[in-house]
């Protein structure tokens, strides 16, 4: 049965993603990929001239599918509380990671085994993501909502919390012992991070906090389920 070239290419990408995620760049051979994808190596190399180009195509395929940058930009453009913005960002990342657990392993392998690919990935996908988030943080600083922090480092700090949670659950085996739903985790991480960057509450002439300032205005009060109230 004849398979369309585009379908065959996607089949090779899907098989490669699973193998690269399990065995890494060095531990996976093009012959093994071709065998699992039920094609010969000549066809594989017709689509992907080198193993490195195939590995990059796998990363690109996973990142393009997720559309994370577009999702992030849409979230920061919302007219919502700081809590809701950062909670939404965290939940979106957590849910997307849960849908494609291979992506985390692929990116870790690229950083450990092929620094050129890792740098290319950061420049193509990660740097712009941090830029969008840092620009939003800078706007909130300029508006007086956040205290004076380095916006890029603050963005990395927030993303680092989410990424490390994924590492613990997916790579280090934490998910075998403790289960967390994305909604609860995203609310807790957003709340924790925001309490570190929110500007001090303004006080009135009597030394009391203004009713229009403080965490409540930013939506940080939550109920027992970790939801804003």
- pLDDT surpasses 50 at 211: no
What's the residue count for the chain?
229
Confidence at 228, pLDDT banded by 50, 70, 90: very low
Confidence at 133, pLDDT banded by 50, 70, 90: very high
- pLDDT surpasses 60 at 148: yes
Q: What are the tens digits of pLDDT across the range 66-121?
A: 777 788 888 988 889 999 999 999 998 888 776 577 778 888 888 888 778 888 88
Share of the chain above pLDDT 70, in %: 84
Within 10 A of 179 (CB to CB), how many other CB atoms are there?
8
Whether this model's pTM surpasses 0.85: no
Mean per-residue pLDDT over the chain, rounded: 84
Residue 107's pLDDT is 82
Query: Could you tell me which residue, 146 or 176, shows the higher pLDDT?
Result: 146
Residue 99's pLDDT is 59
Tell me the two tokens of residue 162.
């989410």
Query: Could you tell me which residue, 102 or 27, shows the higher pLDDT?
Result: 27
Residue 145's pLDDT is 96
Within 10 A of 78 (CB to CB), how many other CB atoms are there?
10
The domains of the chain, with CATH numbers, are 5-58 (1.10.10.60), 67-197 (1.10.357)
């Amino acid at each position: 049965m004849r398979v369309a070239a585009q379908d065959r290419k996607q089949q090779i990408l899907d098989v490669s993603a699973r193998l690269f995620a399990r065995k890494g760049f060095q531990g996976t051979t093009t012959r093994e990929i071709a065998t699992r994808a039920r094609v010969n190596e000549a066809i594989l190399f017709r689509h992907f001239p080198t193993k490195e180009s195939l590995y990059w195509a796998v990363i690109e395929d996973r990142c393009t599918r997720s559309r994370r940058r577009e999702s992030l930009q849409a979230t920061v453009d919302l007219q919502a509380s700081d809590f809701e913005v950062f909670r939404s960002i965290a939940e979106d990342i957590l849910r997307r990671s849960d849908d494609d657990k291979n992506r985390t392993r692929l990116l870790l392998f690229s950083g450990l085994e092929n620094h050129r690919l890792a740098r290319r990935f950061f420049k193509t996908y990660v740097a712009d993501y941090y830029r969008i988030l840092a620009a939003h943080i800078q706007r909130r600083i300029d508006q007086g909502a956040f205290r004076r922090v380095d916006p890029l480092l603050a963005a990395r700090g927030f993303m680092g919390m989410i990424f490390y949670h994924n590492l613990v659950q997916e790579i280090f085996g934490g998910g075998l012992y403790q289960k967390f739903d994305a909604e609860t985790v995203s609310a807790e991480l957003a709340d924790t991070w925001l309490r570190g960057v929110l500007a001090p509450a303004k006080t009135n002439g009597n030394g009391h906090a203004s009713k229009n300032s403080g965490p409540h205005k930013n939506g940080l009060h939550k109920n027992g389920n970790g939801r804003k109230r």
